Amino acid sequence: MVKEKSGARSVAVDSIGCMPGDWVICVGSGAAREAAGAKDFPSDLTIVGIIDHWEE
């Protein structure tokens, strides 16, 4: 589950195997379907990377 800036939550396809609590990088729209493995895959948001280090 991904929380957007607006406070809304979205469900993302995990294409890389992240763990709960990981900070991730997501792509949306057509790029999400491509990253999920197929252009006809029904995904609006796909996780494509894990952030190793983040300073707040």
Give the burial class of 38: count Cβ atoms within 10 A of its Cβ; 0-12 exposed, 13-18 middle, 19 or more buried: exposed
State residue 8's pLDDT score.
72
State residue 2's pLDDT score.
58
- 3-25: average pLDDT: 79
In the predicted model, what is the mean pLDDT of the chain?
A: 78
Is residue 41's pLDDT more than 80? no
Is residue 9's pLDDT more than 80? no
Is residue 3's pLDDT more than 70? no
- CA dihedral for 8, 34, 21, 17, sign (positive or negative): positive
State residue 50's pLDDT score.
92
